[in-house]
Amino acid sequence: MSTETRIPEVSQVERHGYLFGYPIAHSMSPLLHKTVYDNLGLNWRQYPLESRDMDLFLQLIKHPQFYGASVTMPHKVAILKHLDGLTQEGADVGAVNTLFIQEDAAGNRLFMGTNTDVIGIRDAFAYNVDSAKFHNRPALVIGGGGAARSAVYALRKWMKASAIYLINRDPDEVRAVISECTARGYGDSLIHVATVSQAERLEGVGAIVACVPNFTPSTAPEREARKVLECFLQKSHKGAVLEMCYHPTTWTEIAEISQNAAWQVVLGTEALIYQGLEQDRYWTGKEVKQLPVEKVQQAIAVKLSEAKL
């Protein structure tokens, strides 16, 4: 077993799960799930397992009281080959952030994977925004990483985006997103919007998902990407922006300029919360509406306010 990893003591609870990743010091996942379990009267806990050691993790999950795990970087793709099956979302996205257990007809435990990041994006809009603002309209994704891919999937599968515009300072990253999403079957009508003049000619968007860190543009490509975003924000139709960045602050430059342009801003903590509640749906068997949503929102808000002190 790994010498770098502190293995949690799990004997004090009835059932246990893990947050498996590296680094994970700032993650609010254990707090989120503790809030759910405490409010449901369950003696369950999710423990941080800050490690790069996949073999260690695969041993720990064999414990009979293990219920599942949140899987984060750098393991979201590496875990795939160790699973017995995937949900549609896990297979389509090609990355897993959630491990849960099913039993086969003989009672054997099967380790299954899904991706709730896409659900978090979908539900952050579904529970906060009038769908008339974004249904059957183009959408916009800012960024070129894993979150951007999840956003494309959610917009295409559930949010009725008629086209999806992509903005990013690095055109190679955009090409990679388009290529991968196309290969996985949801790359139709993905358009790289590289210049303001191109943006001016395009129809206004209804949903924007910002998947980049909070920063002030300094390079020429960064400044151009920000101007492209501002062009869309100034168009006549006003929709909603989901700002996925919430650390170290939930109120980013993109949130500020969006609000100033009369757009509704949804904080990234909403996506965090709803992807976590979707995980607990798999783990507890309860529907999201049966889970303590408001208590979780309060707990996350308190944690964020403490971090600012």
Tens-place pLDDT, residues 252-286? 999 999 999 999 999 999 999 999 999 999 999 99
Q: How confident is the model at residue 55 (pLDDT cuts 50, 70, 90)?
A: very high
The size of the chain, in residues, is 309
CATH architecture of residue range(s) 119-269: 3-Layer(aba) Sandwich (3.40)
pLDDT at 1 over 50: no
Which residue is listed with tokens 């949690």? 8
pLDDT, tens digit (0-9, with 9 covering 90-100), for 126-169: 999 999 999 999 999 999 988 899 999 999 999 999 999 999 99
Q: How confident is the model at residue 90 (pLDDT cuts 50, 70, 90)?
A: very high
Which residue is listed with tokens 């064999």? 62
pLDDT at 3 over 60: no
Q: Backbone phi, then psi, for 288, in 5-degree steps?
A: -55, -40
Instruction: Note whether 236 and 271 are within 8 A (CB).
Output: no
pLDDT, tens digit (0-9, with 9 covering 90-100), for 289-300: 999 999 999 999
3-class secondary-structure state, position 48: strand
Q: Backbone phi, then psi, for 133, in 5-degree steps?
A: -75, -25
pLDDT at 4 over 80: no
What is the reported pTM?
Answer: 0.91
3-class secondary-structure state, position 107: coil
Choices 1.10.10.410, 3.30.70.260, 3.40.50.10860, 3.80.10.10: CATH for 15-115: 3.40.50.10860
Task: Give residue 304's pLDDT.
Answer: 86
- Preceding amide of 74 cis, omega within 30: yes
Residues 62 and 207: their CA atoms lie apart, in Å, by 42
Mean pLDDT of 83-99: 95
Residues 113 and 99: their CA atoms lie apart, in Å, by 5
Instruction: Note whether 124 and 151 are within 8 A (CB).
Output: no
User: In the predicted model, what is the mean pLDDT of the chain?
Assistant: 94
pLDDT at 2 over 50: no
pLDDT, tens digit (0-9, with 9 covering 90-100), for 192-222: 999 999 999 999 999 999 999 899 999 999 9
Q: How confident is the model at residue 80 (pLDDT cuts 50, 70, 90)?
A: very high
Domain ranges, ordered by start, for the chain: 15-115, 119-269
Residues 90 and 30: their CA atoms lie apart, in Å, by 22
Mean pLDDT of 27-54: 96
Q: How confident is the model at residue 309 (pLDDT cuts 50, 70, 90)?
A: low
Inter-CA distances, 221 with 25, 93, 110, 224, 228, Å: 32, 28, 47, 5, 11
